[in-house]
Structure 1
Amino acid sequence: MEAYARPRVIVSKCLEFDACRYNGDVIYNDVIKKLMEYVDFVPVCPEVEIGLGTPRETIRIVKQGEDHLLLQPSTKRDVTKEMRLFSENYLAGVKETDGFILKTRSPSCGIKEVKVYASTEKGPAIGHASGVFGGKVTELFSHLAVEEEGRLNNFTIRDRFYTKLFTLASFRRLLPKGLDAVKDFHKKNYYLLMAYSKPTLKVMNRILKNVNENGEDKTVELYARALHKLFNRAARNDSNRSVAKEIFNRFESKLSVREVAFFKELLQKYANKKEPFSSITTLLKSHAIRFDDNEVLQQTFFAPYPEILLEISDSGKGRDY
């Protein structure tokens, strides 16, 4: 398989890049550190950008009526307007980007689970929301790969994020090459796209068939929209099994009764969450090598992102977010 495209990712600057956290610390993060070899990061700290400095007094989201304000309890300073203005201006200039990794629970960068308070006085949180910058990111760029660094400790979430990030980066890289490159992308990603959404894959097939009706530019535009829609959901257990069966059908007639039975046994174990899906993809890949099926071997379904990034560890203990 050819080299992976290098994604461009906007990241909270306090994560590995600069000691700009409110207390003057830098947050060391193994996921981001490992990604540095494969990703072009663009660090940003919204709180520093609006002049809060480092170190600085903490800020929090406070609910007043129907509004969420960004306030600094120690000074009673309201920085909501400055943060909103920075967020709008900064994100309006974002181009050629494939994803975001933002600081978990930050009142500026957090995507979800940011504590909301009733006032600037001491007291428990009364709810949760998005940070001001993080909320604007999800509003404008939900079609891209967007995550918080804390959630990336969960294997399932990390795997999904990497798959979307590197696939979108690959698609962005080929766009200047036109429709033929898009068709080649579709062919190599066919089983991966099927695993995420068979209905959306059918729509993408129709889009590519209707090029005479829509023209090349419109076809590429429609295809891009469908691709982004496809990644709005995760590949489910039943979808993965369906794709595995379809690939296996290419080899079944050449296999022994025991080999076929073994595959079906693995598939059932995966359905019952007793076996990782990697066991099935490894078996399918071995069949493709054995029978010299290059069409299957070129599929990104087997390795949608650099395999060195794959780790089985999961600090989330299997939680389904």
Structure 2
Amino acid sequence: MEKICMPQVVVSRCLGFSACRYNGQTIPDKFVNKLKDYVEYTTVCPEVEIGLGIPRDPIRLVSEKDEIFLYQPASGKEYSKEMTDYSLNFLNSLKDVDGFILKGRSPSCGIKDVKVYIGKEKAVGSTKGAGLFASEVMKKYPYLAIEEEGRLTNFRIREHFLTKVYIMFKLRQVKESKSMAELVKFQSDNKYLLMAYHQREQKLLGRIVANHDKKPFEEIIDEYRDHLGNAFARLPRYTNYINALMHIFGYFSDNLSSKEKEFVLGTFDKYREGKAPLSVPLNLLRSYVIKYEQGYLLEQSIWAPYPEDLVDISDSGKADNS
């Protein structure tokens, strides 16, 4: 299978790459900087690319007559068409992409909490929405990992983002191989990770891979990709993860003493109650998988869905509802 070296991630240029913010500044980001050794970045600053200078008068999203515009109060100009045209051209130019890290609250790049002013007047109310560039990203790539740098300070959101980036990267490798055998192996290796995220989609993905209708690979892989995106659309529930862990536990539980079983199940309870990170029950189960030489289980991606050097349990405490 053709080797693709690293995941491809599009990142807002102002996040430590260039002083291109409206005020002429840059915003170094710890996670973005750490990730640079593990992914290949493509940087983007939509506002500069549509001709706005550095520094520049701020732009904002404005809602009028059920439409949202990109508006610059100082000049009275609208830049909606320029931004939309640039966004479409840029996204269409991307050959490969596995995820996006965009600047939060930006009228171009913010994905969910951007202030949308009601009308162009100064003292008006506002709602929340997505930046114009980010909106086009989410339309074109609904199945990819797309996040704001601020939300990635939350451990669970960051873990979910990395998991999704790497599983989509690996699926892209399968697509490059044009091999049904590789897709079958991908489904097998990710069985318990998929179960931990979305059991219904896991079963549906299995049926897609079975391919009883003998569809061509090109059709199967795109259908599979879309449903894989659905499976990883949200952070996994604790109960779903425990269900997957219980299935793994069943492979060797008969070999354990009652005290050992009690201890293992106790780590599941602590994880469920938020008293222990997922790594505690995972590493315990992994040790038993190694001990009892469960080769099939050792190949499962659930143990390390992304490079372990990227594990960082620091947490901003920001909400992880996605």
TM-score, length of structure 1 as denominator length: 0.94
Alpha-carbon shift at residue 215 of structure 1 (Å): 4.0
1:254 aligns with 2:255: yes
Between the two proteins, the alignment pairs up a number of residues equal to 319
SS in 2 for 1:214: coil
User: Structure 1 unaligned runs (5+)?
Assistant: none
Alpha-carbon shift at residue 267 of structure 1 (Å): 1.5
Once the two structures are superposed, residues 22-43 of structure 1 have per-residue CA deviations (whole angstroms, 9 ceiling, x without a partner) of 1111110001000000011100
TM-score, length of structure 2 as denominator length: 0.94
CA RMSD of aligned residues (A): 1.8
* Equivalent residue number for residue 304 of structure 1: 305
Alignment of 1:143-162 (within 5 A): 143-162=143-162
Structure 1 CA distance, aligned partners of 2:278 and 2:290? 19
Tell me, yes or no, if the aligned pair for 2:157 and 2:320 is still in contact at 8 Å: no
Structure 2 CA distance, aligned partners of 1:24 and 1:33? 20
Structure 2 CA distance, aligned partners of 1:57 and 1:116? 17
* Equivalent residue number for residue 245 of structure 1: 246
- Relative to structure 1, the CA distance from residue 49 to residue 217 in structure 2 (aligned partners, 3 Å threshold; closer, same or farther) is closer
Structure 1 CA distance, aligned partners of 2:319 and 2:130? 24
Structure 1 CA distance, aligned partners of 2:309 and 2:124? 42
* Equivalent residue number for residue 191 of structure 1: 192
Alpha-carbon shift at residue 128 of structure 1 (Å): 1.2
Alignment of 1:114-125 (within 5 A): 114-123=114-123, 125=125
Structure 2 CA distance, aligned partners of 1:144 and 1:126? 29
* Equivalent residue number for residue 80 of structure 2: 80
SS in 1 for 2:11: strand
Structure 1 CA distance, aligned partners of 2:103 and 2:299? 36
SS in 1 for 2:214: helix
Alpha-carbon shift at residue 273 of structure 1 (Å): 2.3
Alpha-carbon shift at residue 219 of structure 1 (Å): 3.1
Structure 2 CA distance, aligned partners of 1:82 and 1:162? 32
* Equivalent residue number for residue 210 of structure 2: 209
* Equivalent residue number for residue 163 of structure 1: 163
* Equivalent residue number for residue 46 of structure 1: 46
51-60 vs 120-129, which moves further: 120-129
Structure 1 CA distance, aligned partners of 2:13 and 2:101? 10
Structure 2 CA distance, aligned partners of 1:5 and 1:318? 33
Structure 2 CA distance, aligned partners of 1:279 and 1:144? 28
152-161 vs 222-231, which moves further: 222-231
Structure 2 CA distance, aligned partners of 1:34 and 1:66? 41
* Equivalent residue number for residue 282 of structure 1: 283
Tell me, yes or no, if the aligned pair for 2:62 and 2:68 is still in contact at 8 Å: yes
Alpha-carbon shift at residue 179 of structure 1 (Å): 0.9
* Equivalent residue number for residue 226 of structure 1: 227
Alpha-carbon shift at residue 176 of structure 1 (Å): 2.1
Structure 1 CA distance, aligned partners of 2:233 and 2:9? 18
User: Structure 2 unaligned runs (5+)?
Assistant: none
285-294 vs 104-113, which moves further: 285-294
Structure 2 CA distance, aligned partners of 1:87 and 1:21? 18
Alpha-carbon shift at residue 4 of structure 1 (Å): 9.5
Structure 2 CA distance, aligned partners of 1:78 and 1:145? 30
Once the two structures are superposed, residues 269-318 of structure 1 have per-residue CA deviations (whole angstroms, 9 ceiling, x without a partner) of 22222222211001001101111222212211011001111111111355
Alpha-carbon shift at residue 94 of structure 1 (Å): 2.5
1:71 aligns with 2:90: no
Structure 1 CA distance, aligned partners of 2:27 and 2:244? 40
Alpha-carbon shift at residue 212 of structure 1 (Å): 6.0
Tell me, yes or no, if the aligned pair for 2:157 and 2:235 is still in contact at 8 Å: no
Alpha-carbon shift at residue 208 of structure 1 (Å): 2.0
Once the two structures are superposed, residues 198-227 of structure 1 have per-residue CA deviations (whole angstroms, 9 ceiling, x without a partner) of 111111222222356324443333322322
Alpha-carbon shift at residue 77 of structure 1 (Å): 1.6
Structure 2 CA distance, aligned partners of 1:77 and 1:16? 29
SS in 2 for 1:213: coil
SS in 2 for 1:223: helix
Which residue identity lines up with residue 269 of structure 1 in the other structure? K
Structure 2 CA distance, aligned partners of 1:56 and 1:125? 24
Structure 2 CA distance, aligned partners of 1:252 and 1:150? 41
Question: After TM superposition, where is structure 1 displaced by more than 4 Å over at least 4 residues in a row?
Answer: none
- Relative to structure 1, the CA distance from residue 90 to residue 250 in structure 2 (aligned partners, 3 Å threshold; closer, same or farther) is same
SS in 2 for 1:61: strand
User: What is the percentage of aligned positions where both structures have the same residue?
Assistant: 40
Tell me, yes or no, if the aligned pair for 1:4 and 1:166 is still in contact at 8 Å: no
Which residue identity lines up with residue 158 of structure 1 in the other structure? R
Structure 2 CA distance, aligned partners of 1:315 and 1:121? 36
Structure 1 CA distance, aligned partners of 2:120 and 2:320? 33
